[in-house]
Structure 1
Amino acid sequence: MLTGAAMADPLTDAEARFGALHSYQVTLRSTDTAGRQQVIRYAYRKPGWVRMDFEQPYRGAVLVYAPDTQRVRLWPFGLGHWPTLDLAPGHPLLRSPQGHRVDQSDVGVLLGEMLALRERGSATPLDDADVAGRPATGLEITGPPRPTTDGVHRYRVWMARDTGFPLRVDSFAADGGLIESVDMSDARIDAPLPERFFHP
């Protein structure tokens, strides 16, 4: 059960809940300002294992990030198909159009960015809503009036009321234009992810 303080501060509560989970699986469905869409089956297990199975674009491609070696294995044409690439996580081939890195792609990083933006700016609660049938708490986080860097100036996020997990996140630039909209409404918390899942 949430305490009064946690209910009053859903973002801090969401970060605490992320700190307590061990793994999650989600289908990332994103659309950017140019209308480009991505659909990725994403899996995360602490202390930082990541696996992405691409459905759109690059259908069939698979990548795995290993935190122990800090390297990424990429199968561009699917598991069992040549070639297999071994890359650094910052390699340009692995960056999303928004500049996201695979080793900084988990929800914990996103929540940290939101908290940092709120510290410099403000947060406003939104009306509660259902996201894909799941009750959610909404929050709009806005940076300082005069942003000093490019990138996200405002987040609009809806977090599941039962888990605190972000179900939908919209990010905006300082001029108000949409950067990216991400749907994560089918998230499964502490999904069983065996060792072999990250060593295909």
Structure 2
Amino acid sequence: MGDLLTEVETAFRALDNYRATVRAVAADGERRLMRYFYRKPGWVRIEMLNPNRGAVLIYDPDTRRVRLWPFGTERVLSLSLAPDNRLVRDRRGHRIDRSHVGALLDNLQRLRAQGHATPLGATEVDGHAAIGMEIAGEAGAHVGDVYRYRVWFAHATHFPLRVESFAADGSPIETVVLSEVETGVVFPERLFTP
């Protein structure tokens, strides 16, 4: 199990892109549902389904800017913002430029370096065979506000399917589920530059 995270990172490095439906539920009940698109070296497109249905955000790694269309890309109104702008961050400070699986894997490695990883064994997540691990920091070590993660990866692809994060006192922070995951997708030419 100690090598699982390395295997997951190797699998991610081999990917050029992915898309998924992302469901995030915070401990306080806040829910977000979005279509998520990623293309290396860091392009991100988020199409909000709930809340703010119709909003589209695109992060351009070359300019390090987020383009926000509050009412969809077919509307003229758009804003160009820094990724740390409060209009494009959620309440917990999540940023679009650090929202992809690679950023998650960086966080997992950083926390494991300050703590330990424990296998959770095999299970099923949304109908997919999965293997889980828990990563916890030692003596107050944390990444952001997260002191412990539980993560389940698809057995066949090593892609993360479910991520649970926990605070210092053990209380849940957020659960994120990635479903309808596709890798190696041929995206439309203008997906990231409408």
Q: Normalising by structure 2, what TM-score?
A: 0.95
Aligned position for 1:77: 71
Matched, 1:66 2:60: yes
Structure 1 Cα separation of the partners of residues 93 and 62 of structure 2:
23
Structure 1 Cα separation of the partners of residues 143 and 24 of structure 2:
23
**Offset of residue 148 of structure 1:** 6.6
Aligned position for 2:146: 152
How much identity, in percent, do the aligned residues show? 50
Structure 1 residues 185, 99: closer, same or farther in 2, change over 3 A?
A: same
Q: 1:109 aligns with which of 89, 103, 107?
A: 103
Structure 2 Cα separation of the partners of residues 178 and 12 of structure 1:
26
CA contact (8 A) 1:131 1:185 kept: no
Alignment of 1:43-54 (within 5 A): 43-54=37-48
Q: Secondary structure at the match of 2:180?
A: coil
Alignment of 1:130-169 (within 5 A): 130-147=124-141, 151-169=145-163
**Offset of residue 80 of structure 1:** 1.9
Mean alpha-carbon deviation: is it higher for 7-16 or for 27-36?
A: 7-16
Structure 1 Cα separation of the partners of residues 65 and 191 of structure 2:
16
**Offset of residue 16 of structure 1:** 0.9
**Which ranges in structure 2 are unaligned for 5 or more consecutive residues?**
none
Aligned residues: 194
Pairwise CA RMSD of aligned residues? 1.4
Q: Secondary structure at the match of 1:184?
A: strand
Aligned position for 2:90: 96
Structure 2 Cα separation of the partners of residues 19 and 194 of structure 1:
22
Q: Secondary structure at the match of 1:196?
A: coil
Structure 2 Cα separation of the partners of residues 124 and 148 of structure 1:
16
Matching residue's letter, 1:28? V
Matching residue's letter, 1:37? R
Q: Secondary structure at the match of 1:47?
A: coil
Matched, 1:31 2:33: no
Structure 2 Cα separation of the partners of residues 144 and 18 of structure 1:
27
**Offset of residue 146 of structure 1:** 2.6
Q: Deviations over 1:146-178 (max 9, x none)?
A: 337760000000000111110000000010111
Q: Secondary structure at the match of 1:115?
A: helix
The structure with more strand, counted as a fraction of residues: 2
Deviating beyond 2 angstroms after TM superposition, the runs of 4 or more aligned structure 1 residues are 145-150
The structure with more helix, counted as a fraction of residues: 1
Aligned position for 2:80: 86
Matching residue's letter, 1:60? G
Q: Normalising by structure 1, what TM-score?
A: 0.93
Structure 2 Cα separation of the partners of residues 179 and 30 of structure 1:
10
CA contact (8 A) 2:112 2:135 kept: yes
**Which ranges in structure 1 are unaligned for 5 or more consecutive residues?**
1-6
Structure 1 Cα separation of the partners of residues 159 and 143 of structure 2:
27
Q: Deviations over 1:44-103 (max 9, x none)?
A: 000111100000000000011111111111110112224211111111111112211111
Aligned position for 2:183: 189
